[in-house]
Structure 1
Amino acid sequence: MVSKTEESQLQQLENQVENRGGGAWEYLSLVRKLKLRRSDKVLKHGLTILNDPKKRSALGPDEWTLYEQVAIAALDCQCLEVAKDCIKVLQKKFPDSKRVGRLEAMLLEAKGSWAEAEKAYSSLLEDNPLDQVISMRRVAMAKARGDILGAIEWLNKYLEIFMADHDAWRELAEIYVSLQMYKQAAFCYEELILSQPMIPLYHLAYADCTSAIAQLTKGRNNEDKEISGLAAAALEKDYKQSSPSKLSLLSSTLRSLKIQ
């Protein structure tokens, strides 16, 4: 979570860079440190540095970090040619890098080459089952394809390993709520409340889920009573015709069952 101090510093640097006051690299470094995307601005200011040989060479080894950051921003912004160019540079520099392999898979995903991307992600996960980024990319890809059940499956598998990922629990809860699977959503919010009890939004969301469960249960109970009432009426009608002497016994039994 970004602190108020960090947020203020980021905003100040962003305003400075946008107004051509310098500090582009410092801004990009802070965005990366805080694990934010700011994709449009990263793409804009990152390319300004990469397209200037003097500025690029001044970065030293951080040049490659910036190529990666800009590649991801370009994928987010659907600037696939820019992403492809950045990835090519990284492939040439690090031909056997799994990290670059991840970018290649993300490019396939962005192109909509789902089968190839899935194959690439599977291969990378075989080498490193604990790669959180790739695991979550599979979730994102399933959602992009409209495969909500697939997204649920991947999120559950992910959370079996990374149980402390609050964002993943929240994402899973929101998917469950969208499908009116309130019991499953409530479980997710219980996990969030246990790990972060001071966040009121989780308590409110949990209350909404339990309220929805109660409404659904009430609705089902009313429906069950209605069906039982119809069945009781049909039995009474049948008994009147076939066994009128046993009608009082039937009525007494139905009352004991609280159906009448």
Structure 2
Amino acid sequence: MVGFAEEGELNRLESQVDNGGGGAWEYLSLVRKLKVRRSEKVLKHGLSILNDPKSRSKLGPDEWTLYEQVAIAAMDCHKLDIAKDCVQTLSKRFPGSTRIGKLEGMWLEAKGSWAEAEKAYSRLLEDNPLDPIIHKRRVAVAKAQGNVSGAIELLNKYLEVFMADHDAWRELAEIYVSLQMYKQSAFCYEELILGQPSVPLYHIAYAEVLYTLGGLENLNTAKKYYASTIELSGGKNTRALFGICLCSTAISQLTKGRNREERESTDLQSLAATALLKEYKQKAPAKLPSLSSVLKSIKLPF
């Protein structure tokens, strides 16, 4: 995640370069360091350096890094001729390079040559079976062709080896949700929470999957994870507050006559509803009547 100070410096440099104040290389270097994709700017300012022999010669070995950066930006902008020129330049300079091989595969993806891209990645994996980027590119190829089952199979095989890859678990979880395979998605979020227990996003995503699955046990667990989301986000997660309200209402409907469980749900409902009203009063007072109507519709005490 990019911090406020880093983002501020990036924006400052971008404005400076855009207005002819120089610093294009510093800007491009910061874009790489922060791993952000400002492709149109990268393409524009990167080409301005590559097309100027004097500026390019000052880069030394970093010239090839810039060619790679511009190639990826050109693919993002669908300037495939520019991307092809950059990739070919790099291929001549580094023949047989796995890193350049990945770029060639990405260029094939960009122009929609899926079968060729898959063959290119498969060849690379023969010599580099544990390269995570190549495995992920194969997943991207499968998804781009609408082959969701193939993407799931590839991700599961990948995660058998790279079990600590949180991005891959999240990708798999989201694919399962899109297919309404909620139990499988819940398993993925459990893995994410085990690996990164302090990330609120995983807690709320897990809670929402459990709420969707329904049933008393899942609803009680969902309520706990909505509550942990609120705790991790300093009490300011509106989605989680609504989630607690909805879970508590559903639990109350399932536990009529069980005084203790019903009372606990009602107490938590009241706290969440009060917090929501306070938040809306401070940030969106014009929407307070709508919120009150929603809370009444799910029979919340407030």
Report the TM-score, using the length of structure 2 for normalisation. 0.68
1:101 and 1:53 map into 2 onto residues whose CA distance is 26
Equivalent residue letter for 1:164: A
Aligned to 2:171: 171
1:54 and 1:92 map into 2 onto residues whose CA distance is 21
Q: Does 1:40 align with 2:40?
A: yes
Equivalent residue letter for 1:169: W
TM-aligned CA deviation for residue 193 of structure 1: 1.2
1:22 and 1:132 map into 2 onto residues whose CA distance is 37
Equivalent residue letter for 1:107: W
Aligned to 1:66: 66
Aligned to 1:117: 117
Aligned to 1:28: 28
Aligned to 2:147: 147
2:138 and 2:37 map into 1 onto residues whose CA distance is 19
2:201 and 2:98 map into 1 onto residues whose CA distance is 38
Backbone CA RMSD of aligned residues:
1.7
TM-aligned CA deviation for residue 35 of structure 1: 2.2
Aligned to 1:234: none
Aligned to 2:294: none
Equivalent runs, 1:45-194 vs 2, <5 Å: 45-194=45-194
2:110 and 2:173 map into 1 onto residues whose CA distance is 26
1:145 and 1:204 map into 2 onto residues whose CA distance is 30
Can you list the C-alpha shifts for 1:190-247, whole angstroms capped at 9, x where unaligned?
Answer: 11111222221211111110111126x99xxxxxxxxxxxxxxxxxxxxxxxxxxxxx
2:74 and 2:177 map into 1 onto residues whose CA distance is 32
Bigger Cα Rg: 1
Report the TM-score, using the length of structure 1 for normalisation. 0.79
**CA shift in 2, pair 1:158/1:2, >3 Å:** farther
1:126 and 1:192 map into 2 onto residues whose CA distance is 30
Aligned to 1:8: 8
TM-aligned CA deviation for residue 19 of structure 1: 2.2
Runs of at least 5 residues in structure 2 that lack an aligned partner in the other structure: 219-302
TM-aligned CA deviation for residue 80 of structure 1: 0.6
Q: Does 1:210 align with 2:203?
A: no
Equivalent runs, 1:234-253 vs 2, <5 Å: none
SS of structure 1 residue aligned to 2:214: helix
1:133 and 1:90 map into 2 onto residues whose CA distance is 19
Q: Does 1:17 align with 2:17?
A: yes
Can you list the C-alpha shifts for 1:174-205, whole angstroms capped at 9, x where unaligned?
Answer: 11111101011111111111122222121111
Equivalent residue letter for 2:199: I
